[in-house]
Amino acid sequence: MAFAYSLALGLLVGLERERSVTPGDRQALGVRTFALIALVGTAARMVSPTVLAVGAVVVGALVVVGYLRTSDADPGTTTEVAAVAVYLLGALCYSDAALALALAVTMTVLLASKSRLHQLVRETLTRPELEDLLKFLVVSVVIFPFLPDRAIGPYGVVNPFRVWSLVVLIASISWLGYIATRYLGPSRGFVATGLASGFVSASAATASMARAARDPERFRWAVAGAQSASVATYVEIVVAVFVVSTRLAVRLVAPALAAAVTLAVVIVVEIRRDRARRVPGEAVTTGRVFALAPTVGLAVLLTTALLLGRWLSSSVGTSGVVASLGVMGFADAHGGSVAAALLFAHGSIDHSAALWTIVVAFSANAVTKIVIATTVGGRRFGRAFGLGFGLSHLVFVAGVVVAALA
Q: Could you write out the DSSP letters of every residue in 248-311? A: HHHHHHHHHHHHHHHHHHHHHHHHHHTTTSPPPSSPPP---S--HHHHHHHHHHHHHHHHHHHH
**8-state DSSP, 120:** I
Q: How far apart are the first and last CA of the chain?
A: 62
Q: Who contacts 314 (Cβ-Cβ below 8 Å, separation ≥6)?
A: 155
Q: How many CB atoms lie within 10 A of CB 1?
A: 7
**Cα separations (Å) of 193 from 16, 89, 186, 189, 283?**
38, 44, 9, 5, 7
- Phi/psi region, residue 404 (left: phi>0; alpha: psi -120 to 50; beta: rest), is alpha
pLDDT in tens, 254-280: 999 999 999 999 888 877 765 544 444
In this prediction, the residues of the chain whose per-residue pLDDT falls under 70 are: 22-28, 70-76, 123-125, 153-157, 166, 169-189, 200-201, 204, 273-336
Surface-to-core class of residue 202, CB atoms within 10 Å of its CB (0-12 exposed, 13-18 middle, 19+ buried)? buried
pLDDT in tens, 91-106: 999 999 999 999 999 9
pLDDT at 69: 74
Q: Who contacts 72 (Cβ-Cβ below 8 Å, separation ≥6)?
A: none
pTM higher than 0.85 for the full model?
no
Q: Who contacts 35 (Cβ-Cβ below 8 Å, separation ≥6)?
A: 7, 10, 11, 14
Q: How many CA atoms lie within 13 A of 198 on its CB side?
A: 25
pLDDT at 191: 78
- In 21-175, DSSP assigns E strands to none
pLDDT at 315: 62
pLDDT at 285: 46
Dihedral of the CA atoms 367, 291, 196, 340 (nearest 10)?
-50
CA gap 42, 95 in Å, rounded: 9
> Helices 160-184 and 219-244: crossing angle, nearest 10°?
150
pLDDT at 238: 85
Rg of the chain over Cα atoms, rounded to whole angstroms, equals: 28
Main-chain dihedrals φ then ψ at residue 23, nearest 5 degrees: -55, 130
